[in-house]
Every structure is written in structure tokens, then in C-alpha cells.
Amino acid sequence: MTTYNRTVPGGYHYPTVVAYDSAAIGQFSAGNGDTYGLARLPGEAIGTTTLSLTNIVSGSRYRIEVASTGALASPSGSATGTYTSGALDITLDLFAPGSDENALRIKVRNATGTPKYKPFETQATLSAAAQSVFVGQIED
């Protein structure tokens, strides 16, 4: 943390404190006694949100991609897996509104079970509110 002293007209001195976390790109806070700010770079997540996949067949594999690039949604460890049973609630990073990172392509496939199912694909856009996506798998 660094403290700077500044002088304003009239000779008053106000300390300004600037804190920077080098481990978190683009995050900083600055204060001049009563004003604080936090800024993030466009590629940084602003938080997390929950995406729930419903009606998914047990044994199905799922993959959640950024629609514009095909890269796994972040964190990538949550964006792919095999469904077994119960609720499938996936916590994903949320980016600023309008970011391409919030537009997702969801792919689901069960090609090894009996019966087999055709590939299912849909799209969703993340927001601060939790979102539920119905998976309409059809037997192959």
C-alpha cells in the first residue's frame, strides 16, 4: 500500500491511499478519505453465477463453451463433466454485461448408454441471476 500526500488550495493536506493487489490484474482501490473505487479489466470476472441443467439423462457428458470462441467457460474445471444424478448446478464466472464471455453454447451427449441419445446443443447468456436450462435429449 502506498500513501501520497497532496495539497489543495488553502494549504490543506489530504493523504491519498492507493492499494494494489498484484495477484489480481486490474483490481485496485484508492481513497482520499471518503471515496473508494474498484476497477476491473474487461476480461476479468466480476463474480460468479449458477447455471443449472435440468432433465439431463444420467451418464450424459456435458460441455459448456464460450459461444464466440469455443473455449471452455471459466472456470474450465466446472464447464465439462459427466452427469450422474441429482441437481446439476454449475458455478461459472460472470463477466460484465455485454461481454462475449457470458454468451455460452451448451453441449450434451450420451453415446455410450443404453439407450443412446442424439447430441443436444443450446445457447444461454449468463447474468447475475441463477439460470436454468432445460436439456431436451432425444433417443438415437
> Is residue 9 predicted with pLDDT exceeding 80?
no
3-class secondary-structure state, position 55: coil
Could you tell me where in the chain the CATH 2.60.40.10 domains are found? 47-134
What's the pLDDT tens digit per position in 77-111? 899 999 999 899 999 999 988 899 999 999 999 99
What the block records as the C-alpha cell of 18 is: 492507493
> Is residue 8 predicted with pLDDT exceeding 60?
no
Q: What is the dihedral of CA 116, 72, 74, 29, to 10 degrees?
A: -160
pTM given for the model:
0.73
Q: What is the dihedral of CA 9, 10, 12, 14, to 10 degrees?
A: -20
Higher pLDDT, residue 25 or 95: 95
Average pLDDT of the chain is 82
What's the pLDDT tens digit per position in 64-73? 999 999 999 9
Q: What sign has the CA pseudo-torsion 125, 74, 44, 131?
A: positive
What is the topology classification, in CATH, of domain 47-134? Immunoglobulin-like (2.60.40)
- What was the pLDDT predicted at 113? 85
